[in-house]
Amino acid sequence: MKTRAEEFAGLTVAMVTPFKNGKIDYDALQEQVEFLISGGASVLSPTGTTGESPTLTHEEQHEVISNVVKFVNGRVKVLAGTGSNSTEEALSLTRYAESAGADGALIIVPYYNKPTQEGLYQHFKRVAESVGIQICVYNVPGRTARAIDSETIVRLSEIKNITMVKEASGSMDSASKIIAATDLTVLSGDDSLTLPFMSLGAKGVVSVVGNFVPKDVAALCAAMNRGDLTEAQRLHYRLLPLCRDMLSLSTNPIPVKKAMQLLGRDSGEMRLPMTGLEPALTERLRRSLVDYGLLSD
């Protein structure tokens, strides 16, 4: 079934934010944009969780979004992370993303203050009705301590520019209910669930591992879209150890930044309170990269 935001289907990469000596490294950011576009990403998503948005100032968040839009130059879609636990703050960030030329906004469920379902509905409604760009509701209760119910998302689907859901609850039931009841474009929020979610009717993934193996993640999405389950399963099982490491070794984005450092794609620098991957875990990650064929032994 055709969904509301088909142009955002396929591989969306949840981009890391490269740092150098405590500052954002815009040269590295531009290199990453080129690498991801050449690797088959159809959407780039800066300033989300993987981009360490909680440690970016609002000015830095504005600069990252505007620079990614500039570097992309219309070649792929830009889905900017603009969420907050304050509705007015999320609205301000989303308005900026729209003015900077982003195609859509990825807005996380408000965290920490644990609003009711009515509060969540009013939060997303307020932001969506105040801007013109497309909105992706980001459901990730493991980060926010509050899930948005599928029934609330169905209500939100009545708002014209709420067109997407990034479903990172891990719930197949939730994804199924949304897909069955709406024409929203559902994207998997977990790399390891891309294949099963797409088998239900999801249209792609917002990927962490896509930061350094975009071609394989894009190929998995393409195989599912053309109905080639055998090839999709092959890619799923090939990617699975890397997908596991990105979430199990430590808190995202600690492992992906270390992987990119080992591969020469990032400095690996993080901002407190995020710290680097421990040596023993780094060795396990290095072994996974060797086994995958990305590093020599």
pTM for this predicted structure: 0.96
Residue 138 annotated in active site: yes
Separation of alpha carbons 213 and 241, rounded Å: 13
In the predicted model, what is the mean pLDDT of residues 95-108?
A: 98
- The mean per-residue pLDDT over the stretch 5-13 comes to 97
203 annotated active-site: no
Q: What are residue 44's DSSP bridge partners?
A: 13, 78
Q: Is the per-residue pLDDT at 297 higher than 90?
A: no
Q: State in Å, rounded, how far the first CA of the chain is from the last one.
A: 45
Summarize pLDDT for 43-82 with one digit per residue, the tens.
999 999 999 999 999 999 999 999 999 999 999 999 999 9
Write down the catalytic residue from 77, 96, 121, 166: 166
Q: Could you read off the pLDDT of 160-197 as tens digits, one per residue?
A: 999 999 999 999 999 999 999 999 999 999 999 999 99
* Residue tagged active-site, from 77, 96, 121, 138: 138
Q: Are 81 and 45 in contact (CB under 8 A)?
A: yes
Q: Is the peptide bond before 253 cis (omega within 30 degrees of 0)?
A: yes
The CATH class, in words, for 6-228 is: alpha beta
Task: Find the mean pLDDT for residues 271-277.
Answer: 96
| Percent of the chain topping pLDDT 70 | 100
Give the count of alpha carbons within 13 A of 282, CB side only.
13
Checking 289-296 for CB contacts under 8 A at 24+ apart, the result is 289/242, 289/259, 289/262, 289/263, 291/241, 292/213, 292/238, 292/241, 292/242, 294/212, 294/213, 294/263, 295/262, 295/263
Which pLDDT band, with edges at 50, 70 and 90, does 1 fall under? Answer: confident
In the chain, what percentage of residues exceed pLDDT 90? Answer: 99
